[in-house]
Structure 1
Amino acid sequence: MALVTFLSDFGDKDYYVPAVKAKMLAINPQLNIIDISHNIETFDLAHAAFILRATFRDFPKGTVHLVAMNTTGNMTQGYIGVKLEEHVFIGPNNGILSLLADQDPGILVQFADIHLKDTSFPAKDILAPIAAKVASGAAIHDFGGPLTNFRKLMPRNPKATREQIIGHVMRVDRYGNLITNIRKEVFDQLNPGRFSIEFGRESLDRLNSGCDQVEPGDCFAYFNSLGLLEIGINHGHGGNLLGLKFESVVYINFNP
């Protein structure tokens, strides 16, 4: 299956997204191009990485993922292809691809100069042709050699002891719900049966199965489909009402 996903911060009001798609379809009109999102906050690598990490494993193995974030930024050190968990990612070497999993990719390729152009639109002129050709059967090794300077960004990880987990808000979604980096498996390993979840000025001593398990206006906390602790206010914007945002601290205190 010639399947390409496309993630960017281009929005949907300009010509950028259709231009990139047109470039890929000109190479292979049979490509199936799936938009993950083009409404990523501009230049926000953490937002883009969160969305891609949360979704890429749901696509068939062998899918090519085109990542167009900060492709002309000062952080970008060339353009690369990586293979991770039998998925292929094509994008800039600016650290975003280091945030997709806890382990390093199995294959790292630096695209050779012959495939690069002097352009103000590298997503269209550099990355799109390579993504289309890889999705059509080429190998990422066909476009360069081993990458030796894989740029990495350090994710913010929770701290856990027998008494407490200290985590952070990683994403405030469009409903105002706050998705944290506290994982269910860590909570389950440490939970003695009694606990309190503290965020902002609120505290909860129980988990819900979903946001609709509390009355409108009440706070909830549950582990979502990603296995991450999510908190908020039913029928309310939790981020605004609780005064929480990206990187706000969330505590789970264990009571033996």
Structure 2
Amino acid sequence: MAIITLTTDLGSKDFYQAALKGSILSIFTDASIVDITHEVPSFNISYAAFVLKNAYPYFPKGTVHLIGIDSVFSESTKYVAMKYNEHYFVGADNGIFSLLFDGDPEEMVELNIMQDLKYLHFPLVDVFVKAAVHLSKSGKLKDIGIPLESIEERMLLNPVLEQDTIRGSVIYIDTFSNVITNITKELFTRVQRNRDFTLHFKRSETITQLSWHYNEVPEGEKLCLFGISNHLEIAINKGKASGLLGLHLGDIVRIEFHQ
């Protein structure tokens, strides 16, 4: 089964998403198309990278992931395809791949597929679709592009360590309004060293213990835990943490460790 996933900022209101899927099916009727999300905030590369990075490992090896974020024509931006962790990725070389991967791709090319002028402002339905279909049919990367030595680098805002303190920030808010930070479980464990902690955030709110499940506290109470992404989350049991706690993208959270 040939699987092509879609991660875009096209939304669901307009015809763009349908046009993208129709373009794939027009040249490969047997393709299995899976939406990862089309609700990425416009041009938000780091948001898209977080979603796709946490989703793609659950797909079978050989899956092709088409990324449509900030992909409009630009003389300074290349269209690329690459293989990483036995998956294939197609998108614009705008920095997203440096956020998506933890190591170097196994193979990567700059696409040399000729673009149809009528799709000049919508390369997703032309260049990207042709590349994704080619790869989903077990085609070779070398047949659709020229070897690429490096990709555009983009840096994430990393947590800051200050003696017995981790200062992090909110990087994602999910559908349930759970607040996800850039503090990973690995970093927390390494700095904690089995000590007690206090998590501080807006409105002088604090949390002093980790939970394993969202329902470990009474309904309406706040908690923190490491979710499926292995990033520290702030949540409210059956409540909307982001709105109720006043936490938004980019807001600072602080963890203080003590004996």
Equivalent position SS for 2:66: strand
Q: CA deviation at 1:26?
A: 2.2
Q: Does 1:173 align with 2:174?
A: yes
CA positional deviation for 1:73: 6.0
> Which is further off, 9-18 or 130-139?
9-18
Count how many residue pairs are aligned between Structure 1 and Structure 2: 255
Amino acid at match of 2:41: E
Q: Which range moved further: 5-14 or 210-219?
A: 210-219
Kept after mapping to 1: 8 A contact 2:72/2:123: yes
CA-based RMSD of the aligned residues comes to: 1.8
1:18-73 Cα offsets, whole Å, 9 max, x none, are 22222222222111111111122222212211110110111111110011111116
- Give the Å deviation of 1:211: 2.1
Aligned to 2:40: 40
Q: Answer yes or no: is the 8 Å Cα contact 2:78–2:93 preserved in 1.
A: yes
Q: CA deviation at 1:75?
A: 8.8
Letter in 1 for 2:146: G
> What's the CA shift string for 1:128-172, capped at 9, x where partnerless?
111011101111221111224521211122223551222111101
Partner of 2:188: 187
Unaligned runs of 5+ residues in structure 2 are none
Which residue is equivalent to 1:147? 148
Match of 1:26 in 2: 26
Alignment of 1:98-177 (within 5 A): 98-112=98-112, 114-118=113-117, 119-148=120-149, 150-160=151-161, 163-177=164-178
Answer with 95-104 or 130-139: which moved more.
95-104
Q: Is the 8 A contact 2:73 2:121 kept in 1?
A: no
SS in structure 1 of the partner of residue 190 of structure 2: helix
Paired residues of 1:2 and 1:32 also in contact (CA < 8 A)? yes
Offset of 1:89 from its aligned partner?
A: 0.3
Distance 1:207 1:75 in 2: 48
Instruction: Give the match for residue 255 of structure 2.
Output: 252
SS class of match (2:33): strand
Whole-Å Cα distance in 2 between the matches of residues 12 and 186 of structure 1?
37
Equivalent residues of 1:162, 1:254 under 8 A apart: no
Distance 1:62 1:93 in 2: 21
For residues 178 and 73 of structure 1, do their structure 2 counterparts lie closer, same or farther at Cα, with a shift above 3 Å needed? farther
Q: Name the CA distance, whole Å, in 2 between partners of 1:158 and 1:108.
A: 30
Q: Tell me which residue corresponds to 2:15.
A: 15
Distance 1:76 1:229 in 2: 36
Query: Are residues 76 and 238 of structure 1, via their aligned partners in 2, closer, same or farther at CA, if it must alter by over 3 Å?
Result: farther
Structure 1-normalised TM-score? 0.92
Question: How far apart are 1:95 and its partner, in Å?
Answer: 1.2
Structure 1: state its 5+ residue gaps: none
In the alignment, residue 193 of structure 1 is paired with which amino acid? R
Matched with 2:228 is 225
CA contact (8 A) 1:199 1:250 kept: yes
1:67 is matched with 67
Query: Shift of residue 241 of structure 1?
Result: 2.3
Residue of structure 2 in register with 1:216 after alignment: 219
1:197 partner amino acid: L
Structure 1, residues 205-256: CA drift from partner, whole Å, max 9, x if none?
A: 1111122221233211011112111002233322222222112111111113
Partner of 2:78: 78
Q: Which AA in structure 2 matches 1:59?
A: F
